[in-house]
Amino acid sequence: MRPDPSSEGDGPFTLGEAPLRIVPVCHDRMEFAEAVRQAIRHFRPQAVAVEMPPALGEAFQRAVDRLPYLSVLVYQDEDGQAMYVPVEPADPLVEAVRTARELGLPVHFVDLHVTSYPEHRDLLPDAYLLNAGGLKAYWEAFQALPQPPRGPLDERREAHMAARAQTLSREADLLLVCGMAHARGIMQALAEGTSQIHRHRPLGPVQVADPDLDSVREICAEMPLVNAVYEFSRGGPGPEGAWAPPPVDEDPPAPPPTRLEGLSGQDAIRSLEALLGMTPGVLKEEDVPPEVRRAVARHLQALKDPGWRLPGQEFDLAPPLSGAPQAPRARIFKFRSVPDRRPEMREFLQELAGRPFLDRQRVLAALFERAAAHHAQNTGEPFKSWQRRTLVQYAGNYSRLRGDLLPGLYACVVAARGVADDNYAYEVWDLGSFYPWTEAGDGPPTIRVRAGEVWLDGVKTMRFRRRLPRLRERLVRVPVKHRPQEENPGDWAREFQQGTICSYPPEDVVIEDFGRYLQKKALQVLSEERTRVEEFSTSMLDGIEMRETLRNWPQGQKIYVRELQKVQGGAGSVVVVFDEDLEEQRYPWRMSWHGEHDQESDMAFFSTPASAKVVGPGIARCEYGGFMLTYPPGRLMDVWTDPAYDAARTNAETLLMAAIDYSQEKHVVYVAARPPRTWMRTFASRLGKKVVYLPLGTLSPLTCKKLRVFHVLSGHRVRQIARDYIW
């Protein structure tokens, strides 16, 4: 029997004619799974055979029946090595068994089980070629590629599969689904008559396990998002429980108001005086126990003016007394990951799966767009159009360097990090590695795969060895900083009840360095404005002016020199305005605070409120609308309540007036999108100062993006843990 490739014009491409057809595939690729499904439904064979040892057959079919829930077959070979076989919907072998069982066809497992199988990589064209040329064009492209030599174990497997398929085809029309490289060896064995049945090596018990969500991100050979899109188009949304929204954390019931048990009236007064700073040196603020602070806060909220707070207290977290009005509560910011967006993901997958045909390129484009939307929601930073163009170009170039038509998930994450930042790269990874149907709870034990180990039932640990039988990019684990979540609602914001706040030192260093850079830049701009260029005569002055010399060289070969005139006076205060917020709605929080040491400046700013995003225990994430730095520290009063600046029309002008007033140097640096109005320059000149304007657009967008975000901490002790929560 010598099978010949059939013509694709008569239907899907196969090797050979009835009663034995062979569909060559690449494992773990969505395009080949769809090709297998079409071939089985078109030819309607009487039986289906797959490249899988019979010892795994029963467990493999049980795992297929569990779809859309993923499964992992775990067993030990003769050498004691733990092996695993992921069962995912976009794998062509899984699709062959699944379609055959739906049509009521018998399934045969014809591969030979061998041990100590060496790792090797087959040279394969990109699977996306199927969308353009079909399986026949892919097979021809594969035949043209040089392949590594076949080992003796490969020859035994191919001879065994050829013999088993030939025997089964005598009884019924058979369609065999096997790997692309083995298909050529099977065809050769059938043509040369070298097919032979070999004895199977013994195989221990095979266990079907249910991987958790994090394990799915580790073990899936195909991108989990592609698996989800394929499963959605093939099997529908599946159980409704997979799309249930996450439970909403509700505030715990408020405890009944308590009195200051064990505390005399005089002690309560002294504690309150310490919190207000009225008795310095007698009783320090840190001497007041936390429970006394909370009790005092509850009693203060019971007063007639419920809006009154301790100095610096921006959070209303203590339970109010019965009948007392409630002030707005602090909003706990929660970083929403893809598993938290299950209702949205159902619509997203339904839209992708509803296209006329499954196209990996469309899936990747949707991945980038939806990840950009998630990035904007979590960080407040929009994804620009130029970033989209650069991202597509970056990912395309990266994939072509690897010999692929389209990038894999790892290439997408690398491109996202290079074009944007780690936050956007995380969103791409989080969405691309998400599979919604996990943790079915229907019987199989849960398996956890972490860094080369399999944890089964939380007790048994086995080593395993991954095999890479083909040159395909598998899902690579990306190092991700997992953001801690709040255990009990209100715990993080409750840290601010102490009534004290401070800054985060690493951000202070960055802002101070930037202020000094702006001072130098302003003086440099003034110096360049006063530069005089003249033709060289007797002195080189401050050096040759190359641009002017080159510009006039063809006319007379003359040399021009420049003279830099010294700028009188240095640069003092610095004002940076990112957003003027003329309506004063986006940045309502206004604050003035002092530097903690001589290397820091006094600062005044307007920003988003500290209670808008609480990202950790006593850690709030804010965004500057603008800020002012003035040197030396320890001199700044509250500029927002100072009547001397009532002439200011906006928050930005208030900062500029204060900067002019407090500056000990002649020049005040002002960075904004628009220059200050003429009245502000007149105000500066009356005080003997000069405003040096630097357009905001001349600064690096990445630097401005980094500077705009800052964090407010509830105390110095929080600085030790802040880096675990700041992103």
Render the burial of 4-14: b for 16+ CB within 10 Å, e for the rest.
Answer: ebbeeeeebbb
pLDDT of residue 191: 86
User: In a 3-state reduction of DSSP, which class is residue 722?
Assistant: helix
Work out the percent of the chain whose per-residue pLDDT is above 70: 77
Strand order in 20-25's β-sheet?
Answer: 20-25, 174-179, 47-50, 107-109
pLDDT digit string, tens, across residues 500-539: 788 899 999 999 999 999 999 988 888 777 677 778 888 8
In the DSSP assignment, the letter for residue 524 is H
pLDDT digit string, tens, across residues 173-213: 999 999 888 888 888 888 888 888 877 776 778 888 888 87
Q: pLDDT grade, residue 447 (50/70/90)? A: confident
pLDDT of residue 576: 95
Q: Is 205 exposed, middle or buried (0-12, 13-18, 19+ CB in 10 A)?
A: exposed
Residue with tokens 């039986």: 47
Q: 399 with 407: CB under 8 angstroms?
A: yes
Q: Is 646 exposed, middle or buried (0-12, 13-18, 19+ CB in 10 A)?
A: exposed
Whole-angstrom distance, CA of residue 395 vs CA of residue 387: 12
Report the DSSP pairing between strands 47-50 and 174-179: parallel
User: In a 3-state reduction of DSSP, which class is residue 590?
Assistant: strand
- Min mean pLDDT across 141-150, 319-328, 347-356, 613-622 is at 319-328
Look up residue 542 and give its two tokens.
């401050």
Q: Per-residue pLDDT averaged across 229-240, rounded?
A: 86
In the DSSP assignment, the letter for residue 270 is H
pLDDT digit string, tens, across residues 540-575: 777 888 888 888 888 878 888 887 777 778 889 999
Whole-angstrom distance, CA of residue 581 vs CA of residue 625: 7
Residue 145: pLDDT above 50? yes
Residue 459: pLDDT above 50? no
- From residue 320, give the alpha-carbon distance in Å to each of 201, 275, 496: 73, 19, 16
Whole-angstrom distance, CA of residue 470 vs CA of residue 406: 17
Look up residue 319 and give its two tokens.
């339970």
pLDDT of residue 458: 39
Smallest Cα–Cα separation from 101: which of 66, 53, 73? 66
Residue 474: pLDDT above 70? no
Residue with tokens 């006593």: 618
pLDDT of residue 294: 62
pLDDT digit string, tens, across residues 369-409: 999 999 888 887 788 888 889 999 999 888 888 888 888 88
**CA angle, corner 270, sides to 265 and 272, nearest 5?**
95
Residues 6 or more apart whose CB falls under 8 angstroms from that of 475 comprise: 217, 218, 219, 220, 221, 222, 223, 224, 408, 409, 410, 433
Residue 255: pLDDT above 60? no
- Min mean pLDDT across 286-295, 301-310, 652-661, 677-686 is at 301-310
Q: Per-residue pLDDT averaged across 591-608, rounded?
A: 90
Look up residue 196 and give its two tokens.
């032979």
Residue with tokens 């990306």: 478
Tell me the HSE value of 328 on the side-chain side, using a 13 A CA sphere.
8
The neighbour count for residue 225, using CB atoms within 10 Å, is 26
pLDDT of residue 8: 46
Cis peptide before 247 (omega within 30 of 0): no
Whole-angstrom distance, CA of residue 714 vs CA of residue 335: 20
Residues 6 or more apart whose CB falls under 8 angstroms from that of 428 comprise: 367, 368, 371, 409, 412, 413, 416
User: In a 3-state reduction of DSSP, which class is residue 464?
Assistant: strand
Q: Which string of DSSP letters, residue by residue, matches 405-418?
A: SS--HHHHHHHHHH
- From residue 56, give the alpha-carbon distance in Å to each of 109, 112, 113: 8, 11, 9
Whole-angstrom distance, CA of residue 43 vs CA of residue 40: 6
pLDDT digit string, tens, across residues 323-380: 333 434 445 556 788 888 888 888 898 888 877 678 888 999 999 999 999 988 888 7
pLDDT of residue 546: 83
- The torsion angles phi and psi of 382, rounded to 5 degrees, stand at -70, 150
pLDDT of residue 455: 43
Residues 6 or more apart whose CB falls under 8 angstroms from that of 659 comprise: 572, 573, 574, 575, 628, 630, 668, 670
Q: 469 with 681: CB under 8 angstroms?
A: no
pLDDT of residue 251: 46
Residue 108: pLDDT above 90? yes
- The torsion angles phi and psi of 242, rounded to 5 degrees, stand at -70, -20
Radius of gyration of the chain (CA): 35
pTM of the model: 0.66
pLDDT of residue 478: 44
Residue with tokens 């009547």: 643
Residue 453: pLDDT above 60? no
Whole-angstrom distance, CA of residue 286 vs CA of residue 261: 20
Residue 463: pLDDT above 50? no
SS3 of 140-195:
HHHHHCCCCCCCHHHHHHHHHHHHHHHHHHCCCCEEEEEEHHHHHHHHHHHHHCCC
User: In a 3-state reduction of DSSP, which class is residue 234?
Assistant: helix
Residue 20: pLDDT above 50? yes
